[in-house]
Structure 1
Amino acid sequence: TERGHIANLEFPASQSAPYHANAELKIRDVTPVASEAAVTLLTRLNRAIESDPARAATYTDRFRELADALKPLAAQTDTPGAAAAALWMLSECHRAQGQFRAADAAFDAYLAALRNVYNHSELPDAYAAVARSLIGPTPNGSPTVTELIRSHTFADGTHPADRAWQACLAALADLHAAAPQEYEAALCATVKDSGIRCTPCAKRLAYATLEQQFPAAASRPDVASAAAKAFARSDTEKATALLTGALAASPSDAEKPSILFNLLMEQSKSVDTLEQAQATYDQLAPFGSDRKYASLTKTGLWHLADLYHRAGKPETALALVQQYVSTYGSDDFIDRLSARVRAEKP
């Protein structure tokens, strides 16, 4: 399965979101042992997966047997924690069999069931923990980056982690319905979350709410520049507008270099914004004298040289390559760019 085991029922405190530090991120009072038959099947299946993961996908009968044993547990109303645990495992069973619609339906039912497990103040953290656990690290040690790459194969907002974040944001709205300042702070915290397990979709949704309900917060340089990163893959125009707005809002000296660098990265995606990219680099370059920002100016210079190369201006590209080498020395990246420019030069 995606996480090595069919079920991962604990959400480590280290994965908790910053909204409610005291929330207990674990399905409490849950004994997934509500059915001895289900536990036996689960144990047998997990052992089989651990001993031979490559063959796990062929155990369709075992997955089906476990799913059949879980369905009655998932329908229980007197033990909401056990029902939620069963829905989580049922979703994994369906996914392992390639029944993705059924898996998604069970997962959505699991998210809804958590409302009967946690109290009102704990729900945002619970949903955030679920979302983070779906990105990694996984119990079997798979790199988080693997799931991050895989998430790009999903349509926007459809990955289970994205749906869990949507539930988290909805829970935040309910929790802070009478406390707009706290709601604003929670949304800003989501947008500015630097952890890789807070998905771009979650940040875009949080920022959209800020734009609608708290425009002053949305226009702050730190918030707008953080939101721009979430739009970088999906909407270059939006990301560029946010970064331009962040610069216009007089960011602090500590914030300005990274905003300029990220703006340069967006502008360097297209030769149509060559002049703007040059102007942005001219503003960024003076910060290179500070060691804290030298890597930004170095990388920015490489991208600017590459942009001139792609724009069909080899003379300027070579001049920038020489500037790079004289300032930072030679490396594989600049050597390869130099070779490409010289090879295509008339």
Structure 2
Amino acid sequence: MSKTYKATGINLKAQALGESDRLVTILTREFGLIRAVAPGSRKHNSSLGGRSGVFVVNELLIAKGRSLDKITQAQTIKSYPGLAKDLGKLAASQYLAEIVLYQALSEQPQEELYELLNEHLSRLEALSSTEKLNVIAHLAHGVFHLLALAGLTPQIQICCLSGHSLIPDFTDPTWQVGFSIPTGGIVCLSAWERLKEEVRSQHREQVSQLVDPLRAASRSPLGVPKERVATGVEMRKQNPPHLHHSPATVKERPVNYQTVIHRQEIPVISSRLNATELAILQDLSQPEFIQDVARNDGWLSVEQILRQYTQYHFGRPIRSAALIDSYFAANHDATV
């Protein structure tokens, strides 16, 4: 007989398998990410039909298999029916689930990740459907917390170049900071400009050190400096006729040095944030919202930054993000 084990998990993905089965990807507290077959779950009136749906939390009894495990019993303890009733909530939930699939481990307990995902799904489900901006705000909050749990938190309090704290300046409407994805966080633009000028200056100096000796050598025959050029009489003394080589046989001596130039990398500025957007980004590290979501229009920019940052560090695209873009584009057109 196959060995069995118990687990509590939330379904993150389900796909058709064979004529009537489903292959379910489940995030469990006890064993991390597992894939198991829900036999007959696509049949009408199957006991596993609803229990194998996405975002359903079950207590499971699973039989070990050679290639795939099999769900033998499932008891639903929680579900999120409100997510399916709103396209924005559903898209945001799928977005979070996709990130969880990228970072979850198999055959290891993932209790923190399990609890964090369920917490943010509960918050999304509880949102009012009248305020669309709330969805993107809670999505950004969830993405930031998932990044923090994965050890990929972007630097949002101090400049990645200077190490100085950056505080939003609401008195200057033109005030901005940069966000560099490869560098890992926010960048003071004045420090960035200074670094660019320093690098340019160093490059000019290094090029000058290389070019000046070459120019001096090019002004003398065979690359010999002028003060070292011998007269015709001295040449005949140094090179008797019987030892004189024809120009065709004369070879230039190889250069005995090698110059290596190490250029300091200038961070790429992926995005620029105004004071409101930086304040939003800095508040995301808090367990609960501090910002008044309805009064801030910077959430879309912040979500875009976190999306690019997440895709860069996981090395994979977030496909569900296209649904978010479509949802907000449609709602924007409807309100214009």
Common fold by TM > 0.5: no
Larger radius of gyration: 2
TM bucket (normalised to shorter chain) is under 0.3
TM-score, normalised by the number of residues in structure 2: 0.26
TM-score normalised by length of structure 1: 0.25
Bigger strand fraction: 2
